[in-house]
Amino acid sequence: MSDKVTVTSNLHGRTTDVRGRYTIAGPGFELVSDGSVRSGGPGEEASSLDLLVASLVSCALNAFRTDFVRSGQPERKVEIFARIERKVEGDYLGTLVMECFIDQVDHVTPEQLVTEYKKRCRIYNALKESLPVVFVPHASGPLP
């Protein structure tokens, strides 16, 4: 068995002078995040839940633009609107609904792209039990 380890994410987080506001930085970027109003934060910048949803959206955008694209074909244009829906009572995360608009530049359907994403996205597979995701795929643009 190999003991080799690859570092795939390396971040630094710190508090700021604003109560409940944080900066999170990595090589070449910095994000600002707020704690929720419920937890005493300002609730103005991206919350931890926003960042979690953003990671799933980012993975989907990356997958949908290039999965099954043959050499020489243009990448697909993709737009995703994501929201968390949950009942007012309760402390569960809710359900993530992702409306996915995917340009059809080939004969691959949006449903096939969603199936492939579900098989391969590590973040989705790690979270799908605690944060169910409903995909609503839409094809846009004409087939060639």
pLDDT at 142: 55
pLDDT at 3: 85
Q: Which two tokens stand for residue 30?
A: 């910095």
Q: Pairing between strand 95-103 and 12-15?
A: unpaired
pLDDT at 143: 46
Stretch (H or E) spanning 33: strand 29-34
Domain 47-140 is found in CATH 3.30.300.20: yes
68 Ramachandran zone, left/alpha/beta (phi>0; psi -120 to 50):
left
Q: Is 72 helix (H, G, I), strand (E, B) or coil?
A: coil
pLDDT at 75: 86
For residue 111, give the nearest of 122, 120, 100 by alpha carbon: 100
Distance CA 82, CA 131 (A): 13
Distance CA 120, CA 38 (A): 35
Under-50 pLDDT residues of the chain: 143-144
